[in-house]
Amino acid sequence: MPSLPDMNATDVVDMARRAAEHQAPRDHHIHNEDLKPALFEWLCRMGDSSLILGHRVSEWCGHSPVLEEDIALANIALDLIGHTQMWLGLAGEVEGKGRDADALAYRRDAADFRNFLLVEKQNGDIGSTLMRQFLFDAWHIERLRGLKGSSSERVAEIATKAFKEVSYHVDRSADLVIRLGDGTDESHRRMQKALDSHWTYANEMFTDDGLDEAVAEAGIAMRPSGLKPAWDALVDEVLAEATLTRPQNDFARRGGKTGERHTEHLGHILAEMQFLQRAYPDASW
Amino acid sequence: MYGQELGATQRDGIEAGTEELEAAFQARIDNNERIEPKDWMPEHYRKTLIRMMGQHAHSEIVGQLPEGNWITRAPTLERKQILLAKVQDEAGHGLYLYSAAETLGVTRDDLTEQLLSGKMKYSSIFNYPTLNWADIGAVGWLVDGAAIMNQVPLQRTSYGPYSRAMIRICKEESFHQRQGFDIMRKMANGTPEQREMAQDALNRFWYPSLMMFGPSDKESVHSDQSMKWRIKINTNDELRQKFVDQTVPQAEFLGLSVPDDKLAWNEEKGGYDFSEPDWNEFFQVIKGNGPCNEERIEARRKAWDDGAWFRDALTAHAEKQAQRRGEGVLQAAE
Ligand SMILES: [Fe+2]
Ligand SMILES: [Fe+2]
Ligand SMILES: [Fe+2]
């Protein structure tokens, strides 16, 4: 288990704060007016998926099947919220309208969220949660691996930090998918059902659009479709060991990362998450 | 943490011929030695420790629930991280304590079954609800504060594994109390509504926190033996007094009022006079009639029952792997 963060010594929090405080002059992308809208929205995509998945995972706190899972899931949620701080912190900085990570997380409505549909899905049983986590982690690790070499140094800095944590996430979720897939008949059935249910949602992670194009042109991030071969390889390997069958459906549900059509769940997530900030807009916490 | 000594059994009969062993055992304790799992110990010592450590572990686990109640509603990303880290710590504490209890010949699963069947208890405090965000501050400040008060002396307790678990746990508890106090300070100095939430939280958590030290010494029947064995170091009333003396100035610093008309500094004893909690309420909560008893146990039972297929699958997978390795060894040998 990675070490528990100290209240004030969490380097994730530190990095986000640093990101918000000083603007690194070396990163010209941050000040590129033409790129600004696309970069802002792309950073929200990164931050929002982490935020919403972190929220979902944190719902397990105290309710998981074994104590070790309570600890591991809390740790993963903690990492994801840490990543959110960094991505949304940078997004606010790029936008330049005085919004920080909290303002973006707590004061936008569903239509402005840019997370994948996959991460909004309800937890279901622990198998469904872990399968969702694995499909996401397998994407996440490839995404971050590429971003470590981003032409934006600020993006590369965040990716480097997050990469270490996500390496642990993907090792763990892959391992559990294998053990549960190749466990009992019941666990196998549950895992196959979870995989089938998540599959067309997962496909959204590899859809390209104009915004991805702009960010790719600038050398900031690879096109999502470019992440697919490595994802396929890892997913195929793990599913084979888990004795699970890969669904043969390339259809991608869309609307999460563009914000055009979220699931009904997102509104409920936000109603809960944003309650205090919305009910007491003048308060500081 | 939770020295309430709930549901203590009466002393078992002394086995014949054990007097000498018991005398030697007591001499070791009086000599400040640590008792280790393989050492001889009186059966009643072992049982008392299983009950104490099990109850303590259960409290850590059930204690995740009232705070977990606000993780998804934490008002900032940083608060959310801090609360997640804190609740994660509590699960970790449960893990150390179950492991320490296992050195006495019980399993974690046994202890869990006993929690779910109601045979074993957990601290009464976790049967109280967290209703507004300041409650998360109050829990850290008061509940973890009371826990520290109980646990610091237990670092010197006679049973080695328990003492070492306490040392690890105490290191983390001070962070818990600080983060709670920090929330309270923010709330008490915030908007009028936030102030109101802070006062409301203190009002609701004050007496339940005082109950955490267990019944008054006058009524606590089994303290003597436990103190002789150094598995209890201070009396309930001593600790409660210490807690009040420490906490009242902190409440004053926050500008909040402790909900006790009788609270007054007593120069002569060098401590505060204060009202006792309602012990009838306390015993009712222990019996199952607290505000959240049913929800807490129900949540734990659901986690346990819903997770059965998960635990079974991990076991089945491990067996398959072992079998495959076995076959691999055989094939290699052929
Ligand atoms: Fe971590
Ligand atoms: Fe604890
Ligand atoms: Fe604690």
Whole-number Å distance, alpha carbon A76 to ligand 1 midpoint, is 7
Q: Please state, in angstroms and rounded to a whole number, the distance separating the CA atoms of residues B93 and B168.
A: 9
Q: Please state, in angstroms and rounded to a whole number, the distance separating the CA atoms of residues A35 and A32.
A: 5
Burial class, B110, CB count within 10 angstroms (exposed 0-12 / middle 13-18 / buried 19+): middle
pLDDT category at B210 given cuts 50, 70, 90 is: very high
Residue A5's identity, in one-letter code, is P
Widest CA span in chain B:
86
Average pLDDT over residues B145-155: 95
pLDDT of residue B331: 75
Query: Domains in chain A, start-ordered, CATH in brackets?
Result: 29-279 (1.20.1260.10)
Nearest by CB: B75 against A68, A187, A276: A276
pLDDT of residue B10: 43
Q: Please state, in angstroms and rounded to a whole number, the distance separating the CA atoms of residues A19 and A17.
A: 5
Q: Residues A147-171: pLDDT tens digits?
A: 999 999 999 999 999 999 999 999 9
More confident residue, A33 or A132: A132
User: Residue A8 above 70 pLDDT?
Assistant: no
More confident residue, A144 or B171: A144
Average pLDDT over residues A220-249: 98
Average pLDDT over residues B42-46: 95
Q: Work out the number of other CB atoms within 10 angstroms of the CB of residue A24.
A: 13
Q: Residues B238-247: pLDDT tens digits?
A: 999 999 999 9
Instruction: Check if the beta carbon of residue A24 is closer than 8 Å to that of residue A197.
Output: no
User: Residue A44 above 80 pLDDT?
Assistant: yes
Average pLDDT over residues B183-211: 98
**Residues 6 or more apart from A130 whose CB is under 8 A from it?**
A173, A176, A177, A180, A194
Proportion of chain B above pLDDT 70, given as a percent: 93
Whose structure tokens read 């055992």?
B25
User: Residue B23 above 60 pLDDT?
Assistant: yes
pLDDT of residue A2: 36
pLDDT of residue A16: 52
User: Residue A192 above 70 pLDDT?
Assistant: yes
pLDDT of residue B9: 44
User: Residue A49 above 60 pLDDT?
Assistant: yes
pLDDT of residue A135: 98
Set of chain A residues whose Cβ sits within 8 Å of the Cβ of B108: 67
User: Residue B60 above 50 pLDDT?
Assistant: yes
Mean pLDDT (chain A, rounded): 93
Interface residue of B59, B80, B182 to substitute, partner A, most A CBs within 10 Å = B80
Average pLDDT over residues A127-131: 98
User: Residue A19 above 80 pLDDT?
Assistant: no
User: Residue B52 above 80 pLDDT?
Assistant: yes
pLDDT of residue B218: 81
Instruction: Check if the beta carbon of residue B197 is closer than 8 Å to that of residue B133.
Output: yes
Q: In Å, how far is A183's CA from the nearest CA of chain B?
A: 4
Interface A:B, Cβ pairs < 8 A: 165
User: Residue B194 above 80 pLDDT?
Assistant: yes
Interface residue of B309, B312, B315 to substitute, partner A, most A CBs within 10 Å = B309
Instruction: Check if the beta carbon of residue A153 is closer than 8 Å to that of residue A27.
Output: yes
Proportion of chain B above pLDDT 90, given as a percent: 87
Proportion of chain A above pLDDT 90, given as a percent: 88
Residue A188's identity, in one-letter code, is H
Least trusted range by pLDDT, from A205-209, A278-282, B75-79, B222-226: B222-226
Average pLDDT over residues A116-125: 98
Q: Do the Cβ atoms of B191 and A4 come within 8 Å?
A: no
Mean pLDDT (chain B, rounded): 93
Residue ranges per structural domain of chain B? 20-283
CATH of domain B20-283: 1.20.1260.10
The two structure tokens encoding residue B168: 């690890």
| Contacts made by residues B279-282, CB under 8 angstroms, sequence distance 24+ | B279/B215, B279/B216, B279/B219, B281/B207, B282/B124, B282/B211, B282/B215
Nearest by CB: B191 against A1, A7, A280: A280
Average pLDDT over residues B89-116: 97
Q: In Å, how far is B277's CA from the nearest CA of chain A?
A: 29
Query: What sections of A22-125 are H helices per DSSP?
Result: 36-58, 67-95, 101-106
pLDDT category at A1 given cuts 50, 70, 90 is: very low
User: Residue B200 above 90 pLDDT?
Assistant: yes
Output the CA torsion A229→A233→A234→A238 (10° steps): 150
User: Residue A146 above 80 pLDDT?
Assistant: yes
pLDDT of residue B219: 77
Residue A77's identity, in one-letter code, is A
Interface predicted TM-score (ipTM) of this complex, two decimals: 0.92
pLDDT of residue B15: 54
Q: What is the three-class DSSP state of B271?
A: strand
Q: Do the Cβ atoms of A184 and B309 come within 8 Å?
A: yes
Whose structure tokens read 């706190």?
A61
Average pLDDT over residues A94-123: 98
User: Residue A43 above 90 pLDDT?
Assistant: yes
Radius of gyration, alpha carbons of chain A: 18
Q: Do the Cβ atoms of A4 and B193 come within 8 Å?
A: no
More confident residue, A136 or B14: A136
Q: Please state, in angstroms and rounded to a whole number, the distance separating the CA atoms of residues B138 and A195.
A: 42
pLDDT category at A15 given cuts 50, 70, 90 is: low
pLDDT category at B1 given cuts 50, 70, 90 is: very low
Q: Please state, in angstroms and rounded to a whole number, the distance separating the CA atoms of residues A62 and B306.
A: 13
pLDDT of residue B13: 47
Whose structure tokens read 């992670």?
A205
Q: Which ligand is nearest to the CA of A54?
A: 1
User: Residue B248 above 90 pLDDT?
Assistant: yes
Q: Which ligand is nearest to the CA of B56?
A: 2
Average pLDDT over residues B269-277: 97
